[in-house]
Amino acid sequence: MTNERDGTYTPSMRIGEIAIEGPFVLAPLAGITDGPMRRLCRRMGASMVWTEMASSEGIVRDGEKTLDLLRFRPEERPIALQIFGSRPETMAAAAARIEALSPDAIDLNAGCPARKVVRSGAGSALMRDTVLLAEIAAAVVEAVAVPVTAKIRSGWDDDSINAPDVARALEDAGVEAVAVHPRTRAQGFAGSADWSVIRAVKDEVGIPVLGSGDIRTPADALAMLTLTSCDAAMIGRAAMGNPWIFRRSNELHAGRPEPDEPVLAERLRIAAEHLDLMVEEKGERRGVFEMRKHLVAYLRGFPGASRLRAELVRIEGHAAVRARLEGGLAESGRGDTSEALHGS
């Protein structure tokens, strides 16, 4: 939790029996926060991670692809498995089913703004039905022994900002921590996140509150802790191609100088390791294909990187992509950034 007098953080936040040893955690992102991403972020200083969201309907039907989203390795702990749905009995059954995977927590998604999810009555549609969301939460809490957490939005639209009331209802239902993304469903990911909503939720409930939204730099992460008094800052898209943001945020938070942005050689080295992890976990074809969006992110911000990014998203095969990354690494090691980016 954050000390309001001096802004320091004491690593004493607990979610149930889980001790969270740092104030910066990895947000759940569909299609992004898979096992390789989670492991890299944990190694770089994320104190807890969340899985991609998984359908409760898919879980109760033993859908293999759905269950694959929730499998994890010991080095990813502490980890919360995120599920979504709109029926209390199905959400409870799904939670009981995945508790067999021995997660540290189970998270309820009440924030996804995707049209397909909302049409089913799940995700941020639940911000319009606090009674139903509380019923879902109570059913899941009753069904499992591990802590239950939830991720919510500010509300449905600007005329229904109800996150504090929703958070209180979730706390009353037995939820042990709530993450707040302070945009409405109507906003989607547009506009600005209103951090004052996070502070309002923090003032309303006694359980840990995690803040999310518009964290792009370590300075942003630290500012969220200071300005909202939230217990942890949840970093999402800013970690894509940039797992170092956790290490840099932790250093800044500890009062030490913020480390410099990783140089190109370091980015290429970790990108190659990330590629290997993807192929190991998902097989060559799928691993290489899904890695492409990460490769684009790893090279973002470097002058002239567009050509290398364009090459990497066209190259087929693990060995060929890795060879191009290693070629860039060797060239950048000679100090020739231009050749690393444009090819020899």
Which residues form the catalytic set?
Answer: 112
- Buried residues in 10-38 as b, exposed as e (16+ CB within 10 A): eeebebeebebebbbbbbbbbebbbbbbb
What CA–CA distances, in Å, run from 270 to 168, 187, 211, 314, 321?
41, 34, 28, 20, 13
Q: Which residues, other chains included, contact 115 with Cβ-Cβ below 8 Å and sequence gap of 6+?
A: none
Q: Which two tokens stand for residue 37?
A: 């991403």
Half-sphere exposure of 28 (CA within 13 A, CB side): 30
Q: Which residues, other chains included, contact 125 with Cβ-Cβ below 8 Å and sequence gap of 6+?
A: 86, 117, 118, 119, 185
Angle between helices 35-43 and 264-282 (to 10 degrees): 140
Report how far residue 249's alpha carbon sits from residue 218's, in angstroms, rounded to the nearest whole number: 4
**Which residue in 69, 59, 62, 61 sits closest to 31, CA to CA?**
69
- 3-class secondary-structure state, position 103: coil
Backbone angles phi, psi at 109, to 5 degrees: -90, 115
